Structure 1
């Protein structure tokens, strides 16, 4: 019976010597190709590891992958391994940092696929490819930074502020510590714009934004200064109690006052700011829902500062629910 012409003829007489040299292909591949055992050690890796890791093949074979992965990114590998063990798939893709032979870091995209079935609660051998994506990651980070920046003042924008506030509160809950928030409003800013024009108003906003960055400089780490909206600015103070927050509130009030930007319609004849301060303490028994309660509390304190005559600060404290 004649063979169907659409059926692949697997009885090829091709000689083994004519088959592609797989080691030669691996050696020419720009990506590093590896065989990783169930014990997470390299069994094989292609010569391109010399460029990727700045380590020889001999200095890679038999070594655990944890030796190459930046410590902060090891949980990514662990989570991916758990997903394989739990049967959520036999292939994973992750973007992580690796430590090169000279101690430098690069970003790589790692693709891993099981070569067999996961058994006994541990994944089996895996086929892994690794590609340097440092340039792509740098571009992504640059674009993200641009998307998180206010175009006028150069400060963090509202999106960046919202994300940072949630992230900081999560850390505060984990540590059962405290954090503070400052809401800052430029006094009589609409009158300033009406009197001097919007271009001068924009310049004023930029000057005050720069002043707040210097005025909020303290022992606090990861302080975020943001344009909250319009003429309203905000400062997130991680791990800061009410005393530190009050100190910084007075500092930023004074630093803006010292700018001495003329403002005829304002009391005192210069641009000033009012500041609302709120400190949240994460503790068992607290009832305030965060981070919305912190914003509401800072906004109420800001209103109190304005009612008190402006160019001052008022503060509040709340005990936040630990969820």
Structure 2
């Protein structure tokens, strides 16, 4: 180890091994970060005392245990992939952000930076120096900014970007579970005429009221209600079969009609919605391209509802793999 002394200008200073060890120990114990040494088997051989402050675990509870034992299961693939890259020789260092399980069972977002400090005779990576840093505040801010970027500013619903991500993600989960996924596409009937008759401010108020009706009529925390575009709204219904999806669509249609928002002289009556419902069953051998086909089918069902006189729900069914 070589240090720099500033007492008489910049010049190399090489302390004796004992003093260097004391300095390193002092730095490790008083650092706000957790400093550790991990062996080639991904087991902790050393960890600084700051682990007690950050992870609520003493060094004795960590040393001798594998890294994966303390990482939240959903984040394990990130760590496994980083380890694979290092082992394959793709890089001597890696930085990942994962959730660590603290001593009290709570989770903490941590940035883990590791670097190979020794190679075994076989040429494979040996010990690695690891620095772990609390990034929970940064992560919370990132999540807040992401949530804002995924929300429609007018209605407070998920926006088109959030809808696209939700639909894609839910279909992947549907494939794994060999389940089904339903989608509703809705359009406010004669909305352009409503805007023309009452003005855009009233039109915006109407959209917000309809959005609230949609939220009140859906069920389950995993249902995603989004503003698809203009006066079109969409609902992603994970695991919902055709009958359940039609029930939800009818609840939504009735909830919007119950708002009793007067339409205007030209159209008359009150604000209503037409809804297209599509349900995809994940089945081996099916050829439909998903989730695009589900979206197309819901759109076709919506046009059927429009052609049937509006203020109604129509459905379509498809098989996809």
Q: Same fold (TM over 0.5)?
A: yes
Instruction: Please give the secondary structure, in 2, of the residue aligned with 1:259.
Output: coil
Alignment RMSD, CA only?
Answer: 2.2
Instruction: List per-residue Cα deviations over 1:32-72 (Å, max 9, x = no partner).
Output: 11011223222111121121111222222222223321122
Instruction: List per-residue Cα deviations over 1:263-300 (Å, max 9, x = no partner).
Output: 12475511000001111112123222111111111111
The 1:291–1:18 alpha-carbon spacing in structure 2 relative to 1, beyond 3 Å, is: closer
Q: Once the 2 structures are TM-superposed, how far is the Cα of residue 78 of structure 1 from its aligned partner? A: 1.5
**1:181-260 paired onto structure 2 within 5 Å:** 181-218=183-220, 222-260=222-260
1:67 aligns with 2:69: yes
Instruction: Please give the secondary structure, in 1, of the residue aligned with 2:207.
Output: helix
**1:10-159 paired onto structure 2 within 5 Å:** 19=20, 21-117=23-119, 123-159=125-161
Instruction: Please give the secondary structure, in 1, of the residue aligned with 2:288.
Output: coil
CA distance in 1, matches of 2:115, 2:210: 54
- Match for residue 3 of structure 1? none
Instruction: Please give the secondary structure, in 1, of the residue aligned with 2:276.
Output: strand
Query: Contact (CA 8 Å) 1:191, 1:265: kept in 2 or not?
Result: no
The range that moved more, 119-128 or 227-236, is 119-128
Q: Once the 2 structures are TM-superposed, how far is the Cα of residue 17 of structure 1 from its aligned partner? A: 6.4
- Match for residue 318 of structure 2? 318
The 1:16–1:290 alpha-carbon spacing in structure 2 relative to 1, beyond 3 Å, is: closer
The 1:231–1:9 alpha-carbon spacing in structure 2 relative to 1, beyond 3 Å, is: closer
Query: Contact (CA 8 Å) 2:46, 2:63: kept in 1 or not?
Result: yes
- Match for residue 285 of structure 1? 285
Instruction: Please give the secondary structure, in 2, of the residue aligned with 1:260.
Output: coil
Instruction: Please give the secondary structure, in 1, of the residue aligned with 2:89.
Output: coil
- Match for residue 7 of structure 2? none
Instruction: Please give the secondary structure, in 1, of the residue aligned with 2:182.
Output: strand
Q: Once the 2 structures are TM-superposed, how far is the Cα of residue 259 of structure 1 from its aligned partner? A: 0.8
CA distance in 2, matches of 1:206, 1:283: 38
- Match for residue 161 of structure 1? 163
The 1:15–1:70 alpha-carbon spacing in structure 2 relative to 1, beyond 3 Å, is: closer
CA distance in 1, matches of 2:94, 2:111: 10
Instruction: List per-residue Cα deviations over 1:56-100 (Å, max 9, x = no partner).
Output: 222222222233211221222222212222221121111000111
How many residues end up aligned between the 2 structures? 311
The counterpart of 1:180, out of the listed 163, 167, 182, is 182
The range that moved more, 293-302 or 110-119, is 110-119
Q: Once the 2 structures are TM-superposed, how far is the Cα of residue 162 of structure 1 from its aligned partner? A: 0.8
Instruction: List per-residue Cα deviations over 1:233-273 (Å, max 9, x = no partner).
Output: 00011111111111111110001111111112475511000
CA distance in 2, matches of 1:179, 1:13: 66
Q: Once the 2 structures are TM-superposed, how far is the Cα of residue 117 of structure 1 from its aligned partner? A: 2.6
- Match for residue 4 of structure 1? none
Q: Once the 2 structures are TM-superposed, how far is the Cα of residue 123 of structure 1 from its aligned partner? A: 4.5
Instruction: List per-residue Cα deviations over 1:190-220 (Å, max 9, x = no partner).
Output: 11111111111111101111110111125xx
TM-score normalised by structure 2 residue count: 0.91
